[in-house]
Amino acid sequence: MKIARLSPQRLQFLALSSFVLLGLLGILNHAMWRDEMNVWLIVRDSLTISDFFAHIRYEGHPLLWYLSLALVNQIGDDPALMQGFHLSLGIGTIFLLWKCGPFPPWQKLLLTFGYYPFYEYLLISRNYGIGMLFMFSFCVAWPRRHQTYVGVGLFIALMANCNAYGLFIGLALLMALSVEWWCYPEQRPSGWGSVLGGLGVAIAGLGASLYMLIPPSDSQLQGGLTTWFFTWDWHQWGRALSRVWNAYFLLLIPGDNRGFDGFLFGTLGVALLGFWAIALCRRPIALLFYLFASLEIIVFSYIKFLGTIRHYGSLFLVLIIALWIAADCLPWQIPPQFTPLQVFKKWVKRLQTPLFTLILTAHLIAGLIAYVRDYITPFSASKATAAYIQEQGLNSGLIVGSRDANMAPLAGYLQRKIYYPERQELGSFTLFNAKRQDVGPEEVLAQVTDLLKRDEEELLLVLNYPLELNLPHLFIEPLAEFRRVLVETEQYFLYHISLGE
């Protein structure tokens, strides 16, 4: 049965059913890594509310994902609960797309199984999936802004409190909403209560997010408050602009270390921004949002954090949101004297659907490849390592683990604390603060020696690198190693250690 012959209702049912089934299979198979599990451990092991909020300040993220998981944690301590919750968020996002999105069914199908909705923001349990849900929820509420601003204001506040990119996108949406209120009186809702209420909620949410994103003075995450890039550098600017290309076309990612790549793909990024700006030019409010949000993320990439594929996915979401809300924005007639713009507009109009289809197809291919790759090769060796430790009866004694940040998945799967040489104490989650110090194998074995002399006859040492150091006073027996992973730092090497004779 060909897709073209399916009714929209049947295609929607098949797409959603397949998404739910494949999402469930994928997330049950997915081995969580440190960035997923560390959040769950903070929620699980923070002893007081004040500790909970203090720990989050070192994470570099707003509150909402942590608060959501705190509610999930009331059900139990199994981290699979977080995965189930995250899956439900992804399903809700795709349901909104199919029920309310202005795109034709075949584009919705491509988007459903694209890289971000089907893999990065579905199988990897982080705060980007919940952010995408609230962005799509904003788009659903957008046509109702003529009656009230409360819905759009609420979803701006919610997306802003998911992650920094949600803050940037929420700020751009608030600015677009405010400009529309000023320039188009006929679009305003009646009554000041709904306007001030919605704007007040949005501004409060943006402020709360910004407050949580300002790290403590001793934070070492991404350089804390100190590492900002304010000098001009063409190569850095090219790398920041290339994030547009990276977000739209996932199958060809340039190398950041090659200057020519930055120039070439940065230029292509500018061309893509210009193309979609012309495509949106008859919907000035959507155009304003698109350009401002994209520029925010590009500037942030330049001055603070270039990010990876999950981060610059926000640029792709900006495009989706702009096209979505453009369907309910008042048109602007291009003045006759703007002849070049009219010519470009006709050219862009002919290419808009083919280009958007090409982008979505690239995302579909990347999403399917990533899904299959994650199913075949573990994202992290944490799940397999934890299973081995439990099967071999090694979970009852002291476990020393280094590097601490990469041991969080083990602490989560084993549901216990591990001794971290970086902090010289038992722990589960990692806080990048002044108390934490990176250590090498020499220091790790020195602390292991002290532990054996003081309290323990033997212990299990887990490292995320092979141990090539041997000391005469220690009997070091290699037990197992788990190297087959997608994230190299999530390999694990296990050693049984006792004092030598």
Give me the pLDDT at residue 255, please.
Answer: 78
SS (H, E, C) 452-470: HHHCCCEEEEEECCCCCCC
- 49-56 vs 34-45: helix axis angle to the nearest 10? 160
Segment holding 319, helix H or strand E: helix 313-326
For residue 327, which phi and psi values (nearest 5 degrees)? -65, -15
**Mean pLDDT, the chain cut into blocks of 10 residues (501 residues total):** 70 96 97 96 95 94 97 96 98 98 96 98 98 98 95 98 98 97 89 90 97 90 71 92 95 79 92 96 95 98 92 97 96 69 78 96 97 96 97 95 95 96 96 92 96 90 94 94 95 94 63
Give me the pLDDT at residue 135, please.
Answer: 98
The candidate with the shortest Cα–Cα distance to 362, out of 401, 324, 319, 331, is 319
Please state the length of the chain: 501
What is the number of domains present in the chain? Answer: 2
pLDDT digits (tens, 9 = 90+) for 453-493: 988 789 999 999 999 988 889 999 999 999 999 999 999 99
Give me the pLDDT at residue 8, please.
Answer: 82
Distances (CA, A) of 70 to 44, 81, 161, 214: 8, 11, 15, 22
Give me the pLDDT at residue 136, please.
Answer: 98
Give me the pLDDT at residue 1, please.
Answer: 46
Amino acid at 70: A
160: in domain: yes
406: in domain: yes
SS (H, E, C) 71-133: HHCCCCCCCHHHHHHHHHHHHHHHHHHHHHCCCCHHHHHHHHCCHHHHHHCCCCCCHHHHHHH
Peptide bond into 403 cis (omega under 30): yes
pTM here is: 0.94
Sorted by sequence, the CB contacts under 8 Å of residue 136 that are 6+ apart come out as 93, 96, 97, 101, 324
466: in domain: yes
Q: Which DSSP symbol is given to 280?
A: T
Cα(98)–Cα(108) distance, rounded to whole angstroms?
7
- 127-141 vs 164-183: helix axis angle to the nearest 10? 10
Give me the pLDDT at residue 349, please.
Answer: 87
> Residue 479 in contact with residue 495, Cβ under 8 Å?
yes
Tokens of 300: 């942030």
Distances (CA, A) of 414 to 79, 389, 394: 10, 8, 11
Last residue of a domain, one of 153, 188, 214: 214
DSSP 334-392: PPTT-HHHHHHHHHHHHHHHHHHHHHHHHHHHHHHHHHHHHHHS-S-SHHHHHHHHHHT
486: in domain: yes
Distances (CA, A) of 456 to 411, 449, 459, 473, 475: 20, 9, 7, 15, 14
363: in domain: no
Last residue of a domain, one of 193, 214, 235: 214
Residue whose entry in the numeric block shows the structure tokens 């199908």: 109
239: in domain: no
22: in domain: no
Segment holding 303, helix H or strand E: helix 284-303
Range 223-257 burial, b when 16+ CB lie within 10 A, else e = ebeeeeeeeeeebbbbbbbbbbbbbbbbeeebebe
pLDDT digits (tens, 9 = 90+) for 1-35: 455 577 888 999 999 999 999 999 999 999 999 99
Amino acid at 338: F
Residue 452 domain boundaries = 382-499
419: in domain: yes
Q: Are strands 399-402 and 458-463 parallel, antiparallel or unpaired?
A: parallel
Give me the pLDDT at residue 338, please.
Answer: 63
Amino acid at 446: A
Tokens of 195: 């306007």
Give me the pLDDT at residue 256, please.
Answer: 77
